[in-house]
Amino acid sequence: MKGLNDLLLLGHPLLYQVSDPVLESELPLVKNWAADLHNVMQEIRAKYNFGRAIAAPQLGIMKRLIYMNIDTPVVFINPDLTNLSHEMFEVWDDCMCFPDLLVRVQRHQALTIKFRDENWKEQEWNLENDLSELLQHEYDHLNGILCTMRAIDDKSFKWRN
């Protein structure tokens, strides 16, 4: 079982790589990957008091997989973001890979996420506001993009209080 010490930190080269799609033949591995992601997210919550979702590359699992647990666990396999709204909003973003740093970014107000669930069934959800922002952040991880790379300007960084 992976733990907090397995979390890749800002500057680790794997965080800047594009992840590979999960293959249907790898579906039996998803349960263990999700358990690892869940465990690390729980440790982050206990230590830093934040964490609603985590992307597999943050643990060095270079697969297009996102684990979210707000009210109930959800696994997003091979997600794709579409219908990105023209309306944008600004938010102070945080990341488990640099838990004490906040970064001011712009995100789309709303979007549609298409993905496969743990049973390999296609799903499509329309999200807006904080969930839209959250999934954009995690989706960026799948493409080797960190919120530090989306900072609005060079003054868009601050330490968490």
Element (H, E) at 125: strand 122-128
In degrees, rounded to 5, the angle at the alpha carbon of residue 25 between the alpha carbons of residues 114 and 20 is 55
Q: Residues with catalytic annotation?
A: 138
- The neighbour count for residue 12, using CB atoms within 10 Å, is 14
DSSP codes of every residue in 3-62: -GGGS--TT-GGGGSPPBPPPGGGHHHHHHHHHHHHHHHHHHHHHHS--SEEEGGGGT--
Residue 90 near residue 106 (C-beta atoms within 8 A): yes
